[in-house]
A and B are shown apart, each in its own frame.
Chain A
């Protein structure tokens, strides 16, 4: 089946720093999604990307759909303590199920 490689697995940063994480796949996807999960809660959708090359922002978050359709990245600018959590990428081809990355655990030190 399809696999997503998400990196890094974990990040420890200082408040105010920028963060970048990415996902790569051996397969082409038509949709890339980025979710954030807080401890003990369900993932919350941050950004959805539907076109190759698309760059979308949501506040301090920016995500891009790679031009090859096999990768995506998420940037967080000027991190704050509430950015702590696990960030998941997910890819989908038309008519198929979502494939999830294994997550990036983000820790922000005040």
Chain B
């Protein structure tokens, strides 16, 4: 089936540890996005990538890093500099970066602090 796969579903981070969230899509989409969702709030954009080997900061990029070495993959690293990482992280993709083609989402990764 075509879609967006996020893994793991649940992730726990220790103090001072970096963790990486995986996002893979087989939709042949050019653009990929990472959002953070806190309880009772909307989605806030962390990073986005319109094309391979290129990415831009979103509204809340501090404490996060990304890479886009392959079209189908856009991993997100939550670094130790992110002091409040507990949240639900959502990856999305769309046909063309910043075009009006709708974004489609994966099922999310819930990150918690140990």
Q: Which residues of A contact B (CB under 8 A)?
A: 1, 4, 6, 30-31, 33, 35, 40-45, 48, 50, 88, 92, 94-98, 100-103
Q: Mostly helix, strand, loop or mixed at chain A's interface? A: loop
A-B contact number at CB 8 A: 54
Q: Which residues of B contact A (CB under 8 A)?
A: 4, 6, 40-43, 45, 48, 58-59, 90, 92, 98-100, 102-108, 110
Q: Mostly helix, strand, loop or mixed at chain B's interface? A: loop
Q: How far is the CA of A101 from the CA of B102 in the complex (A)?
A: 16
Contact present for A94 and B110 (CB under 8 Å): no
Contact present for A44 and B105 (CB under 8 Å): yes
Q: Give chain B residues whose Cβ lies under 8 Å from the Cβ of A43.
A: 43, 90, 105
Q: Give chain B residues whose Cβ lies under 8 Å from the Cβ of A102.
A: 40-42
